[in-house]
Amino acid sequence: MKIRYDRDFVKYWLASIISSAGSRLTYVAMPVLVFDLTGSPFLTGLVVAFEAMAYVLVGLLAGTVADRVDRKRLLVGGDLVNAVALGSVPVAAALDALTVGHVFVVVAVSGVATVFFDAANFASLPMLVGRERMAAAYSVLYGPLTVVGIVAPGLAGLLLATMTPAGVLAVDAVSFLASAVLLRAIGRAMSRERDATTRRSLFAEAREGLVFLWNHPTIRPMTIMSFAQSASGGAALGQFVPVAHNLFGPARAAWSASVMFLAFSVGGLISTVVYPRLRKRVAAGRVALASTPIAAILALLCGLPSSLVPLAVLIAAWATIYTTNASNSIVFRQSETPEPLLSRVNAAGRMLAWGVGTPAGAFVSGLVASAWGPRWAFAVAASFGVLATALAWLSPLRSQPQPAH
């Protein structure tokens, strides 16, 4: 059966599109909300840090649980928790009781729910469609997701011109509910039954995934490099709203920040076209070696323009290379990991790279932006990019053989 006519896959596809669109709205609206409440570049940057820190707190646990339980139930549960958490913000705002503390609690709870969702989701698609149809499934799934990533930030800008950031979060809460209904309707299993007699403690099984990652000759250096690269992304993305406010004034800040996020998504779209072709010809290690210095240079250049168009063009160029590097690490990790370990190894990798790296970058850039101005966040991003370059070039990735043509 062609993947497009697979009813269970279509439900999964629709759930992914709907929840992704809502999440992209929140990705723009949440920093705007925090900046409106506080006026602080540091606290605005911490929003990005809080979202990623959940991977540090529960990443290994989530991966282990996702390899032991019904992954579909875990996906539905994650969507429902996100819907309730995000829905509490517009309710509190309507009651004139919204505080920045409430917002950060919501971000933390939503982050934990997303970690468990991601841990199940990474391993669910191969089970849903079969490994032999994975390429077709990725093609059908991630093309529209990338388009959503491009359209949603612009839509967020339009919505923010007509409603409050809390109202935009209400839209995302509804999208999570819709996603949960669709996922619940999937009839096919997304996980294999595990032999309960061979089950060990959560700690032992979590350690197994971490040990596999750490002992792998190329996944380990790729993950270490990804830590610094994720820090670079956290440093820049966490300051998009303060940069827009600083460069273009309070009246145009929300719209300008939406354009910056839109430019980042355009870079992601370009990457989805470039990376699959690149991976057929170039080893994953060499993609990392080439992309890290280019990304560092482009991140530094992003701090120079004073008008929106050249800034957006540079952000799109940086995002193309940055996303290519991130996709390269994830796809390589998935292709090298056995199925019983998929959730644990991917969760461990995201914990070490994105979960530790992104908060580190966001925290440092928030401090620097508060002291010297938001545009210095791009210099911080470039500095972490230089670190990523050094980590990649001093690792065994240099000796990885080229794929056969």
Neighbour count for residue 307 (Cβ, 10 Å): 9
CB-side neighbour CA atoms (13 Å) of 378: 20
In terms of Cα–Cα distance, which of 376, 272, 256 is closest to 308?
256
Q: What is the pLDDT of residues 183-209, one digit of tens each?
A: 899 887 776 666 555 666 777 877 888
List pLDDT tens digits, range 251-297: 888 888 888 988 888 887 788 778 877 877 888 888 889 999 999 99
> How confident is the model at residue 162, as a pLDDT?
81
Highest-scoring range by mean pLDDT, 22-26, 44-48, 359-363: 359-363
Q: 27: which residues sit within 8 A by CB, 6+ positions away?
A: 153, 156, 261
120-135 burial string, b = 16+ CB within 10 Å, else e?
bbbbbbbbbbeeebbe
Among the residue ranges 16-20, 136-140, 282-286, the one predicted with the least confidence is: 136-140
pLDDT digit string (tens) for 331-341?
788 777 876 77
Q: What's the pLDDT at 105? A: 93
Contact 244, 260 (CB under 8 A): yes
Task: Measure the CA–CA gap between 143 and 288, rounded to whole angstroms.
Answer: 23
Per-residue pLDDT at 45: 83
pLDDT of amino acid 118: 80
pLDDT at 310: 96
Q: Is the pLDDT of residue 328 over 90?
A: no
Q: What is the 3-state secondary structure (H, E, C) of the chain?
A: CCHHHCHHHHHHHHHHHHHHHHHHHHHHHHHHHHHHHHCCHHHHHHHHHHHHHHHHHHHHHHHHHHCCCCHHHHHHHHHHHHHHHHHHHHHHHHCCCCCHHHHHHHHHHHHHHHHHHHHHHHHHHHHHHCHHHHHHHHHHHHHHHHHHHHHHHHHHHHHHHHCCHHHHHHHHHHHHHHHHHHHHCCCCCCCCCCCHHHCCCHHHHHHHHHHHHHHCCCHHHHHHHHHHHHHHHHHHHCCHHHHHHHHHCHHHHHHHHHHHHHHHHHHHHHHHHHHHHHHHHCCHHHHHHHHHHHHHHHHHHCCCCCCHHHHHHHHHHHHHHHHHHHHHHHHHHHHHCCHHHHHHHHHHHHHHHHHHHHHHHHHHHHHHHHHHCCCHHHHHHHHHHHHHHHHHHCCHHHHCCCCCC
Report residue 13's pLDDT band, with 50, 70 and 90 as the boundaries.
confident
Confidence (pTM): 0.74
- Bigger pLDDT: 371 vs 1: 371
More confident site: 229 or 55: 229
Domains and CATH numbers, the chain: 3-187+202-398 (1.20.1250.20)
pLDDT for position 133: 65
What's the one-letter identity of residue 52? A
pLDDT over threshold 70, residue 139 = no
**CB of 315 within 8 A of CB of 263?**
yes
211-265 per-position pLDDT tens digit: 888 888 888 888 899 999 999 998 998 889 899 999 988 888 888 888 898 888 8
Is residue 365's pLDDT more than 70?
yes
pLDDT tens-place string over residues 87-130: 999 999 999 999 999 999 999 899 889 888 887 876 777 777 66
pLDDT of 1 reads: 57
What φ, ψ does residue 353 adopt, rounded to 5°? -85, -70
At residue 367, the pLDDT reads 92
Query: What residue has token string 């590097």?
Result: 325
Residue 405's pLDDT band (cuts 50, 70, 90): very low
Mean pLDDT of the chain: 84
Whether the per-residue pLDDT at 168 is higher than 80: the answer is: yes
